[in-house]
C-alpha cells in the first residue's frame, strides 16, 4: 500500500516543529493541548507505518522490529501528553512551576520525543548514539526542572552517570566501526546497520566482543541494569511525574532497543561470544537486586522506579535467553510493562498531588478517600506484580516456561526474584490503598482516561491477544534469533 505522505518525515518532523512552536506559545493551556495534538499526529503517522513499505537508507531504517518500538513510543507519548495536560496545571497552582517553566517543559517534551523517535528509526549507529544522547540530555533538564536541592542532586547524578554511559557506548560504536572497516571499507557504510548485519560474519570476532561489552555497559546504564542503575530511582522520584512515566515507559526501552540491535550483530557472527549469557546475567542481577530493594523504599515514586529496574531486568533476561518463544515473551513483556508502569505513574502523580506527599507512610486508605485513584493503583500494581489476567502474567509465564526448558536453574532464580518483588508490591499497595485513611480528602481534577486506557489494554491482552498482533510479534521474535 502506498501512503500519500512519508510517515518517517511526519514522525521526525512533527516533534521537531512542535518543539520550536511550543517554545514561543506563551499560554500554557494552549501549549499543553498543542503538545497533545503534536503527539496525536505522531501517533497517527507511527500507526501508518504498519502499512508503509520497509526500507533502509544510509541514515533511516524501517523494519518489523522498530515499528513495534515506534508505535509503543508514540502511543505512550500521546497518553502521557494527555495526562501531563491535566497534571501540569496543578503544578502551576501549587507554585512549583511558573508559566515560563511550562513553556520550556512542553518544548523539551517534544525534543525528547524527537530524540527517541530518531534513535528508533536510525539505521546509522552513530546517528542512533547522537539521538539517544539528545533524549538523555532533555530528560536531565526535565528531572531538574523543580530546582529544589533534591531535584538538582538527582539531575546531576543522572547527568554524570548518563554521560559516562553514553561515552562508553560511543567507544563501543567506534570499535564496531573498526571491526567493520576492513570488510566493508571506509566511510559511511561502516556505520550503517543494515550493511553491518550483512557482512558481520566476516568481522574480527575479538574486536566485536570488546565492542559489545562496552555497548552493553554503556547503553545498559541507560536501561538501568543493576550495577549501573544508581541514577534511575533519583531521576524518577524528583522529576515531574509525566517525565517519570516516559522515563520508565519509553526511554529505558529505547536504550534496550540499542542493545538489541548490537546483540543481533553479534549473534550473526558465529565466532564472537554469545551475547545472550551476558544479558541474562545482568538481567538476573537486576531482578533480584531490585526485588530486595523494593522492601526498603519509603518514597512511592522511588518504589515504582525500583520496580522498573526489576522489569527491565526481566526483559533483558528474556532477550538474553533468546529463541522465538523467549523473544516473543520479551517483546510482550516490554509492551505490557510500558503500558502498566506509565498508568501507575499517572495514578501516583495525582495521588502525590492531592496528598501533598510522596512518602508511602503518609498515604493510607486511598480506596476510601479517592476510590478511582485508589482502585486504579491497586489494579495497576496487581498487573505489574504479574497477577492473572494481566498481560504481564502471560509474558512472565512464557519467559519462565521457555527458560525452564533450557536452563532450569536460571528459571528458579528468576521465579525467586519475581516472588520477592511480588511480596513487596502487595505489602506496599495494601498499606497505601487500604486501612485507616490519612491526608487530604479533597477531590481531584484528574483526567482518568489515559490510565483507564492503559489498564484496559493490559488486562485485555492477558485474556485475548489479536491474532494479527501475535503473528507480528512472532515474526519479530524470529528475526531476533
Partner 1 sequence: MNGYVFDTAHLFAGGLVLVSFMMLYQDRLHALINVFALHAVVLSLSVAWQAYTQAAPHLYVTVAIAVAFKVLVIPIALHQMIRRLGIHREIETVVGIGPTMLAGMGLVALSMMVMLRVTPEADPLAREDLAFALAVILLGLLIMVTRRNAVSQIIGFMSLENGLILAATGAKGMPLVVEISVAFSVLIAFIVIGVFLFRIRERFDTVDVHALDRFRGERR
At residue 56, what are phi and psi to the nearest 5 degrees?
A: -150, 125
Candidates 10, 137, 325, 381: give the one binding partner 1 (CB under 8 A).
Answer: 137
Q: Is-cis flag, bond preceding 389, omega within 30?
A: yes
Nearer to partner 1, 127 or 225 (CB): 127
State the nearest-atom distance from the C-beta of 420 to partner 1, in Å.
19
Rounded Cα distance between 399 and 394, Å, is 9
Position 187 contacts partner 1 (CB under 8 A): yes
- The nearer residue to partner 1, 37 or 174, going by C-beta atoms, is 174
Give yes or no for residue 349 binding partner 1 (CB under 8 A).
no
Candidates 93-101, 144-152, 398-406, 448-456; binding stretch for partner 1 (CB under 8 A):
144-152
Least Å distance between CB 361 and partner 1?
A: 5
- Supply the minimum distance, in Å, between the C-beta of residue 153 and partner 1: 6
If the CB atoms of residues 295 and 472 are measured against partner 1, the closer one turns out to be 295
DSSP state letters, 429-457: HHHHHSSS--S--PPP----HHHHHHHHH
H or E segment to which residue 56 belongs: strand 55-56
| Cβ contact 129:167 at 8 Å | no
Among 55, 296, 406, 441, binds partner 1 (CB under 8 A): 296
Shortest Å distance, C-beta 136 to partner 1: 9
Angle between helices 449-463 and 323-355 (to 10 degrees): 150
Strand ranges in 277-330 using DSSP code E only, listed in sequence order: none
Using CB under 8 A as the binding rule, whether residue 188 contacts partner 1 is answered as yes
453 binds partner 1 (CB under 8 A): no
Mask 250-289, x = binds partner 1 (CB under 8 A)? Answer: ----------------------------------------
User: Binding of partner 1 at residue 57 (CB under 8 A)?
Assistant: no
Hey, what's the cell of 215?
Answer: 555497548
Contact at 8 Å (CB) between 358 and 350? no
Residue 129 contacts partner 1 per CB under 8 A: yes
The residue within the footprint of partner 1, chosen from 99, 182, 227, 371 (CB under 8 A), is: 182
CB neighbours of 30 closer than 8 A, spacing ≥ 6?
none
Q: Which burial class, exposed, middle or buried, applies to 24 when counting CB atoms under 10 A from its CB (0-12, 13-18, 19+)?
A: exposed
Three cell numbers written together for 21: 512552536
Residue 91 found at the interface with partner 1 (CB under 8 A):
no
Task: Please tell me whether residue 445 binds partner 1 under the rule CB under 8 A.
Answer: no
Question: Cα–Cα distance between 480 and 261 in angstroms, integer?
Answer: 9
Q: Are 208 and 265 in contact (CB under 8 A)?
A: yes
Does position 297 interact with partner 1 (CB under 8 A)? The reply is yes
Helices (H), 200-274: 205-223, 231-238, 241-246, 252-267
Which is nearer to partner 1, 67 or 137 (by Cβ)?
A: 137
Cα gap 478→481, rounded to integer Å: 5
What are the residues whose beta carbons fall under 8 Å from the beta carbon of 252, sequence distance 6 or more? Answer: 222, 223, 224, 308, 312
Nearer to partner 1, 134 or 281 (CB): 134
Per-residue x/- track, 105-124, partner 1 (CB under 8 A): -------------------x
Contact between 209 and partner 1 per CB under 8 A: yes
Contacting positions for partner 1 (CB under 8 A)? 124, 126-127, 129-130, 133-134, 137, 140-141, 144, 147, 149-150, 152-153, 155-157, 159-160, 163-164, 167-168, 170-171, 174-175, 177-178, 181-182, 186-188, 190-191, 204, 206-207, 209-210, 233-234, 237, 296-299, 302, 358-359, 361
Amino acid at each position: 500500500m502506498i501512503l500519500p505522505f512519508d510517515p518517517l518525515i511526519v514522525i521526525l518532523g512533527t516533534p521537531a516543529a512542535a518543539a520550536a512552536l511550543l517554545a514561543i506559545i506563551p499560554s500554557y493551556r494552549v501549549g499543553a493541548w498543542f503538545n497533545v495534538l503534536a503527539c496525536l499526529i505522531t501517533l497517527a503517522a507511527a500507526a501508518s507505518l504498519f502499512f508503509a513499505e520497509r526500507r533502509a537508507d544510509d541514515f533511516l531504517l524501517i523494519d518489523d522490529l522498530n515499528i513495534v518500538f515506534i508505535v509503543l513510543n508514540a502511543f505512550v507519548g500521546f497518553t502521557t501528553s494527555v495526562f501531563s495536560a491535566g497534571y501540569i496545571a496543578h503544578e502551576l497552582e501549587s507554585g512549583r512551576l511558573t508559566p515560563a517553566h511550562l513553556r520550556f517543559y512542553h518544548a523539551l517534551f517534544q525534543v525528547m520525543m524527537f530524540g527517541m523517535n530518531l534513535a528508533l528509526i536510525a539505521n546509522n549507529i552513530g546517528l542512533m548514539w547522537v539521538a539517544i544522547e539528545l533524549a538523555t540530555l532533555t530528560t536531565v533538564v526535565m528531572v531538574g526542572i523543580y530546582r529544589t536541592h533534591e531535584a538538582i542532586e538527582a539531575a546531576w547524578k543522572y547527568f554524570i552517570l548518563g554521560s559516562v554511559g553514553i561515552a562508553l557506548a560511543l567507544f563501543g560504536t567506534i570499535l564496531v566501526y573498526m571491526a567493520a572497516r576492513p570488510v566493508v571499507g571506509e566511510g559511511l557504510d561502516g556505520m550503517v546497520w543494515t550493511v553491518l548485519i550483512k557482512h558481520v560474519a566476516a568481522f574480527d570476532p575479538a574486536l566485536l566482543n570488546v565492542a559489545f561489552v562496552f555497548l552493553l555497559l554503556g547503553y545498559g546504564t541507560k536501561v538501568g541494569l543493576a550495577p549501573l542503575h544508581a541514577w534511575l530511582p533519583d531521576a524518577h522520584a524528583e522529576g515531574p511525574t509525566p517525565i517519570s512515566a516516559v522515563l520508565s515507559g519509553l526511554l529505558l526501552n529505547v536504550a534496550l532497543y540499542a542493545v538489541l540491535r548490537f546483540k543481533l550483530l553479534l549473534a550473526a557472527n558465529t565466532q564472537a561470544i554469545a551475547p545472550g549469557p551476558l544479558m541474562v546475567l545482568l538481567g538476573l542481577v537486576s531482578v533480584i537486586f531490585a526485588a530486595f530493594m523494593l522492601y526498603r523504599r519509603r518514597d512511592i515514586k522511588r518504589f515504582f522506579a525500583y520496580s522498573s529496574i526489576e522489569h527491565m531486568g526481566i526483559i533483558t533476561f528474556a532477550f538474553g535467553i533468546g529463541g522465538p518463544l523467549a523473544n516473543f515473551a520479551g517483546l510482550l513483556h516490554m509492551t505490557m510493562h510500558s503500558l502498566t508502569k506509565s498508568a501507575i505513574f499517572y495514578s501516583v502523580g495525582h495521588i502525590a498531588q492531592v496528598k501533598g506527599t510522596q512518602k508511602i507512610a503518609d498515604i493510607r486508605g486511598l480506596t476510601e478517600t479517592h476510590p478511582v485513584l485508589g482502585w486504579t493503583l491497586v489494579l495497576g500494581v496487581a498487573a505489574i506484580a504479574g497477577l492473572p489476567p494481566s498481560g504481564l502474567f502471560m509474558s512472565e509465564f512464557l519467559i519462565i516456561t521457555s527458560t525452564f526448558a533450557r536452563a532450569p536453574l536460571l528459571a528458579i532464580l528468576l521465579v525467586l526474584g519475581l516472588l520477592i518483588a511480588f511480596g513487596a508490591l502487595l505489602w506496599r499497595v495494601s498499606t497505601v490503598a487500604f486501612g485507616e485513611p490519612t491526608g487530604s480528602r479533597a477531590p481531584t481534577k484528574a483526567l482518568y482516561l489515559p490510565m483507564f486506557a492503559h489498564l484496559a489494554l493490559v488486562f485485555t491482552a492477558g485474556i485475548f491477544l489479536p491474532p494479527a498482533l501475535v503473528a507480528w510479534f512472532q515474526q519479530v521474535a524470529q528475526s531476533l534469533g
